[in-house]
Structure 1
Amino acid sequence: MEIKKLLRLPLKVAFSLAALLLVLLFTQPLYAVPRAQQTEEKDLASEIRVLLEGRKLWLNYPISTKRFYEQKSYTPQWLTVSRQDKAWASMLLLDCVLQFGLSYNDYRYNEHLPSTLHDIFEKPNHVSLTQQARFEIMLTDDMITFVNQLHFGVLNPSFTPGFIDSTDNEFRAETVMANAMDQEKLMKVLAGVQPKSKEYQRLQEYLSSSIRYSDNCYEIPEGELQNVAMNMERLRWAAIEEDNYILVNIPAFNLKYYYADTVNEFKVIVGRPSTPTPQLQSQIEYIITGPDRNVAGSVFIKQVLPNALKDHHYLENNQITIYDKKGAFVKADRRVLTSIIKDPSGYYARQAAGCDNTSGAILFSFPNIYEVSMHDAPDKTAFEQADRALSKGGISIANADSLAALLLKNSGTASRLKEMQEAIISYKKKTFTLNKVMPVKVVYLTSDVLNGKLVSYTDIYDLDRSLQSIMFPSVRPLSMR
């Protein structure tokens, strides 16, 4: 079978055939001839150094690529007889990028086709030293690009290619590459840099199994598969590396708390399209009970009630909530306000301490640059609605007391559970610090795979269209299909 056709087969089949090919490669006398007899590695190393130091190549990650070779004294890492299996494996990966939700357009696959690699090993005298050095460097840059895109994503707003390349990040693709080259299973090591979340794994498996193969090539995914690829991209931005974390999915109106192989799910209320909840990463450090302050009785009677009657947005704009003397939330429309103002003695008001929304009895410390809060909600009936894009950007959680109890218990402070429950009931302001902070990822996923089936959520902020136009510029927007 021709090598090019091998590299256009479905992933599982291609890997199996690649293994067979490698056996043949190492058992044929042709490949048993050391490359040193054809072209001295030191000469190739010198040429690699000349090209890198002369900056004669356009690379996606020039600093990372040069650093990779500096650590190896510029010696070739692919074009050696001991590493040719790694070279072929890397070519297989580059031919399968669609199955990872990536695009061929970001790689120079056409500049180093399998036929070129074949000629370098089989007919080295037909490939100049400069061409070999160029091939070596380009393949390394492509593989570093592949690793960075798998880990950070292609369009990560916080980690652009230039930032990744020039900044000393904790994650370095060239270090991953160097380690992978020394491992038996290069593919497995590189694929391991992907997000660890269950959502990502489900989407990746679904996409990989759904990519169509025809006419000796993989077809660009369309329709729902583009949506899967886009949501994989968003999950790369979320940088989920932990086993225990909280994931808030805005379009699904839900919160999932992952801890010790268990998942607890809660309904949430998120921002309206006019005041959207942003995608972000933060962590819960402590929980506050009774976070709002009571409005003085005289202020309630003389200011709050009259202003609320005049302006039906007054209570919301000032984060004020009205309760009866039993502590029950009062949905204050004009009719109810008219009744209360006649006899206000059976009612009182609370004003949220934060700048976003009424916090109810529980506030989760959730620092972020957007000043978005995550909290309980006084009006429990809102969670019964299917469309819960109702807030000014904050995240309200149904059964927030249950989530708070789980966080306290799992952080090793279960001894304070009773104290917290009493503080919630009495609406007493107290702070409960977690022994270990809980990572929180707020994401925007318009699709998920549940029980093997793709589930779609409403694109409430209309974000898919803009992302699709960048990732798949030559196809019609999803909204027009």
Structure 2
Amino acid sequence: MAAVIDLQIKKHQKELYYPLSVMRFYNSNGNKLAWIAPDTVKNHATDAMLLLDCVLQYGLNHANYHPGKLLYDELRLLRSSTASVSDERKAVFDIWLTDAMLAFENNLHYGRFNPNYPAGKIDVDGGDGFNSTAMLKAALISEEFTTAITSAQPKSKIYLDLKRQMYLETGLYTNDCYEFPQKGIQNMAINMERLRWYSVGEKTPVEINIPSHILTAHVQDSDIYFNLKMTKATLIALEKLLGSSAPITLSVLRGQVILYSLPLINDHLKDLSGISLIGGAKDLPLHISVLKSKKLAKLLSRRDFPQIIVNDIPLKLTYITGEIKGGVLISYNDIYGLDRDLTQTLYQTVKKIK
């Protein structure tokens, strides 16, 4: 069986989402079957299939997890103690299911279309250190298989609220995981995807969500929110910074939030009207008005000078256009028109098998 598994991984390498991860997974268990066992032996194959059936509840697309290969009738046949089935057939099904579960874990952790962590990068070097193969191995021996697998998700409140509402909308309310997502469900799905992007990589103490005009300060075990006022010119400038790899820092100066980012500030912001600049500053700052600025300044202050409070605080810009408040989906203005393309990508892009 070990030789058969090794041969089938190589044979189907181009059809797998994470071929190197699949290879590492089987190498680590001695190239043994992970899912296919006699029907008298308890394992998590059915749990995994059921989980993949309802990936829509996690804002993902069922079509991206080998649905044509992973059939319940095939699983029953392969596990039957009376049917005569070749080792090759068992190995192929086992490999498909392993690849689907590794893809599901990585999609929950990184997002399916994370611009900084595409599947190829994750497969080669493991992305930000998250180890989907180790997590899958641990889940296979766990009594709480689903909990172990889905622990890959972000832990932020906004994400968990969206996930719960998605579960209600696609599971309890409709009782149909395959119903085509309506507008509200699509909005929740694309924002869950973005929140996965933001959850990996370096964490920052402060975030500004552009569509909602809200600054969030992460303080110990709680979050404190501040409303911002942004001009049209400011929004144009922030679009240049959104998704940039250049570090951005935040300061609070005489009632204003000031963003610094080199070299993007110099390249894109200096000629925009409506943006006030501090004369003589080496990096031209972007000013945003903040309500309750004294409270924010006190919260973030590390250095206090007469009539000026300056804080060099690492900042992350986010683009979340929907969140759950009081059990209701609140939608924000899609300022930059990014929702449509991401929606189409999530629901219409399916891996082409070569």
Residue 77 of structure 1 is aligned with which of 20, 29, 34? Answer: 34
Write the distance in 1 (CA, Å) between the matches of 2:153 and 2:42. Answer: 25
Shift of 1:58: 1.5
Write the distance in 2 (CA, Å) between the matches of 1:113 and 1:439. Answer: 48
Match of 1:219 in 2: 179
Matched, 1:404 2:297: yes
Given the two structures, how large is their TM-score scaled by the length of structure 1? Answer: 0.61
Shift of 1:142: 0.3
Shift of 1:246: 2.6
**5 Å matches for 1:416-455?**
420=304, 423=305, 425=307, 427=308, 440-455=315-330
Identity among equivalent positions (%) equals 31
Match of 2:242 in 1: 278
Write the distance in 1 (CA, Å) between the matches of 2:213 and 2:121. Answer: 33
Match of 2:4 in 1: 47
> Quick one: which amino acid aligns to residue 278 of structure 1?
L
Write the distance in 2 (CA, Å) between the matches of 1:250 and 1:45. Answer: 52
Rg (Cα) greater in structure: 1
Residue 117 of structure 2 is aligned with which of 159, 162, 165? Answer: 159
SS of alignment partner, residue 15 of structure 2: coil
Q: 1:320 to 1:48 in 2, by over 3 A?
A: closer
**5 Å matches for 1:190-269?**
190-211=149-170, 218-239=178-199, 245-269=205-229
Shift of 1:439: 6.1
Say whether the 8 Å CA contact 2:251–2:311 is kept in structure 1: yes
Residue 286 of structure 2 is aligned with which of 357, 367, 375? Answer: 357
Write the distance in 1 (CA, Å) between the matches of 2:197 and 2:330. Answer: 21
Shift of 1:98: 0.6
> Quick one: which amino acid aligns to residue 472 of structure 1?
Y
Say whether the 8 Å CA contact 2:210–2:318 is kept in structure 1: yes
Say whether the 8 Å CA contact 1:244–1:260 is kept in structure 2: no
Bigger drift between 76-85 and 237-246 goes to: 237-246
Match of 1:137 in 2: 95
1:220-268 Cα offsets, whole Å, 9 max, x none, are 2111110110010010110168998433211000012232333211122
SS of alignment partner, residue 116 of structure 2: coil
Write the distance in 2 (CA, Å) between the matches of 1:424 and 1:124. Answer: 85
Q: 1:320 to 1:164 in 2, by over 3 A?
A: closer
**Cα RMSD, aligned residues only:** 3.3
Unaligned runs of 5+ in 2: 255-269, 350-354
Write the distance in 2 (CA, Å) between the matches of 1:268 and 1:83. Answer: 59
> Quick one: which amino acid aligns to residue 45 of structure 2?
A
Given the two structures, how large is their TM-score scaled by the length of structure 2? Answer: 0.81
Say whether the 8 Å CA contact 1:244–1:259 is kept in structure 2: no
> Quick one: which amino acid aligns to residue 459 of structure 1?
D
Write the distance in 2 (CA, Å) between the matches of 1:56 and 1:106. Answer: 16
> Quick one: which amino acid aligns to residue 3 of structure 2?
S
How many residues of Structure 1 are paired with residues of Structure 2 in the alignment?
Answer: 328
1:284-342 Cα offsets, whole Å, 9 max, x none, are 8885868xxxxxxxxxxxxxxxxxxxxxx989588447xxxxxxxxxxxxxxxxxxxxx
Write the distance in 2 (CA, Å) between the matches of 1:68 and 1:153. Answer: 21
Say whether the 8 Å CA contact 2:16–2:99 is kept in structure 1: yes
Say whether the 8 Å CA contact 1:197–1:240 is kept in structure 2: no
Say whether the 8 Å CA contact 1:79–1:136 is kept in structure 2: yes
Matched, 1:65 2:29: no
Say whether the 8 Å CA contact 1:254–1:265 is kept in structure 2: yes
Say whether the 8 Å CA contact 1:69–1:75 is kept in structure 2: yes
Say whether the 8 Å CA contact 2:248–2:316 is kept in structure 1: no
Unaligned runs of 5+ in 1: 1-43, 291-312, 322-349, 359-376, 378-395, 475-481
Q: 1:223 to 1:424 in 2, by over 3 A?
A: farther
Shift of 1:216: 6.8
> Quick one: which amino acid aligns to residue 450 of structure 1?
K
Residue 105 of structure 1 is aligned with which of 63, 75, 82? Answer: 63
1:336-384 Cα offsets, whole Å, 9 max, x none, are xxxxxxxxxxxxxx455422435xxxxxxxxxxxxxxxxxx5xxxxxxx
> Quick one: which amino acid aligns to residue 402 of structure 1?
K
Write the distance in 1 (CA, Å) between the matches of 2:13 and 2:67. Answer: 19
